[in-house]
Amino acid sequence: MSIKERIIKKRKELNLNQTELAKRAGLQPPAISQYESGNRNPSYDALVKLSHALNVTIDYLVSGIEQEENITEPTEKVLLKIFQNSTQQKKQEILEYAFLSAGYQNQLNFFSTDPKQYAKQVFNVTLNGEFPIDIYKLAKKLNLTIIIGNLEGQAEALLLKNNNTIILDHNQKHEARIKMTIATMIGHFLLPWHSQASYYYRKQGKSTLSTDNIDEIEASSFATNLITPPEILEKDLNEFSSGNISLKTLKHLADEKYKVSLTSLCNRLVEFDKDRFAVVNSSEFEVKKVFSGSIIIKENYELNQNSKAYELLTTPSKMEELREGRVPANTWIIDSENDGFLFESSIYNPTYKSVLTLLTKL
């Protein structure tokens, strides 16, 4: 049973429709629809909200294991009893021994079950709030070695935890993407319960947005909150609370201030205001990927000829090109009953022969 099937199952057991579940979880109904259709998997934040709304654990949504079923082995139950009945000092000693046995280096001396809190700790304490994030400086502080190698198309990066080594595939050239890759690997390295000896990034080209692996979801959450710290990002995104938003403005912010990819910053903008924004990736005259909240856009649909994205793909440039303007809502929203407009800002990437689109609801 997959994540989407478990969400559907629990929602129906509680006699909730998608809108009711969305309200209870503090999410948008279109997001629930996307999760249940399998078009998109929930982020870590969404998993937390869904688990509370459905009265289950995150582990259940991801793996199907109920909380009370997590500990079945008698030895594990005994260990839990010992830990619960120990003094605070003894608990610390047990934890240190567990870390040692697992090969985990507790460099942060920090404990939480939330990857976002680990990112905050790293930013505020390890990096002393220095911004933008110097990912190579952080890796050095954590005694992590970064080398370039040939992963033969298996993945974009490989973390060898016991060797304190990150191997970046030699085909990776885009600095912003490399930054996200290394930050994700650092997430796996620092989260104590990520106990595998090795971790891959984008194994066999799999999108990080479509993964249902909880470790990958958590490491991605860590990376996103590390390189775009919420306390800094919110101040910038508040500037986009009204009006038409151009990718030209966001690209300048992504390149000059955050040193991240434009797509990454656009996705954060959607998270900031799910009612106003949607991000679309298109190629070959088809919608390939969608990241949205309340604006419903279906993937694997042909692009509307009235869209700026269609225009860019029709006459592809050898250089990066931006086109934007108001378009009818039904240009992007399938079966839209709304006769209003969206502001479309689309930019063509000649390297990937694709278009990134930011849609703003007017």
Residue 50: C-alpha distances to residues 43, 46, 98, 186 (Å): 10, 6, 31, 27
Check residue 235 and give its pLDDT: 92
Q: For residues 360 and 240, is the Cβ–Cβ distance under 8 A? A: no
Has residue 320 got a pLDDT over 80? yes
- Which tokens hold the place of 140? 């050095």
**pLDDT grade, residue 205 (50/70/90)?**
low
Question: Which of 42-51, 74-83, 267-276 shows the lowest mean pLDDT across its residues?
Answer: 74-83
DSSP 162: G
Closest to 254 in 3D by CA, of 347, 157, 189: 347
Check residue 208 and give its pLDDT: 66
Strand ranges in 40-156 using DSSP code E only, listed in sequence order: 145-149
Residue 206: C-alpha distances to residues 37, 122, 210, 262, 263 (Å): 18, 27, 7, 20, 16
Q: What value does the CA radius of gyration of the chain take, rounded to a whole number of Å?
A: 22
Distance of CA 40 to the CA centre of its chain: 11
Give yes or no for a cis peptide into 192 (omega within 30° of 0).
no
Distance of CA 289 to the CA centre of its chain: 14
Residue 263: C-alpha distances to residues 8, 168, 289, 302 (Å): 30, 21, 11, 21
Q: How far apart are CA 338 and CA 17, in angstroms?
A: 23
Check residue 106 and give its pLDDT: 81
**pLDDT grade, residue 260 (50/70/90)?**
very high
The pLDDT tens digits for 146-169 are 999 999 889 999 999 989 999 999
**pLDDT grade, residue 229 (50/70/90)?**
very high
Q: What is 200-254 written as a DSSP string?
A: EESGGG--TTS---HHHHHHHHHHHHHHS-HHHHHHHHGGGSSS---HHHHHHHI
Closest to 350 in 3D by CA, of 328, 322, 308: 322
Paired residues of 344 in beta bridges? 325, 359
Q: For residues 200 and 157, is the Cβ–Cβ distance under 8 A? A: yes
> To the nearest whole number, what is the mean pLDDT of the chain?
90
Has residue 186 got a pLDDT over 60? yes
Chain position carrying tokens 């976002």: 116
